[in-house]
Chains A and B, each alone.
Chain A
């Protein structure tokens, strides 16, 4: 059974750095056909893809936040960590981690499993 679970602070102050951890089970982060992505959703707004990391440490970031984001993984712990620096109230959102799967025959990958999400509020 594939599961992903986000953990981290529920409240951060402006200018602080947010660190979120996604702990996965039911699949290996060493699988070259899978990756973990972070996606966020401000209250009442749309989904916004942030970053992903593949097993060979291949990383990609959304252009608008590239200078503030960092993604890493610890395969032995089955964890993917996202940091977002210089937090601002506009960064208030539910942050999801999701698995990306790339099966043989697929032309493009898909987000096939999602975590429950964690709401992060930025306020002083």
Chain B
């Protein structure tokens, strides 16, 4: 399998845009999911198939993919968005998670 690399931390001011990247050398044709995990809580699905949002997820969360890199973008970041974010992809029948990014809203 392969590794997914995320920056350990990202900082953003309230109301600004935050971008979190996820890259892997052998990602190929797989699609990415993104999960938000607030402190002490279980992960929540934010984005699937690179850019789709489940019902109930605010529009300020968006996803994209270019080549071997996926990006989660949070527009108009709010204090409640302070959390850990994980990307996830598949290698055949194996699920792979990135190392996680801690988003700090300053």
Contact = CB atoms under 8 A, between A and B. Distances in A.
B106 interface: no
Contacts of A110: 33, 45, 48-49
Interface residues of B, number: 25
Given A47-B100, A117-B42, A107 B94 contact: no
Contacts, number: 59
Contact of A114 (B33, B42, B100): B42
A115 B48 CA distance: 19
Given A63-B1, A108-B90, 7 more contacts: A46-B99, A47-B43, A47-B97, A107-B31, A112-B45, A112-B54, A114-B43
Interface of B: 1, 30-31, 33, 35, 37, 42-45, 48-49, 54, 86, 88-90, 93-100
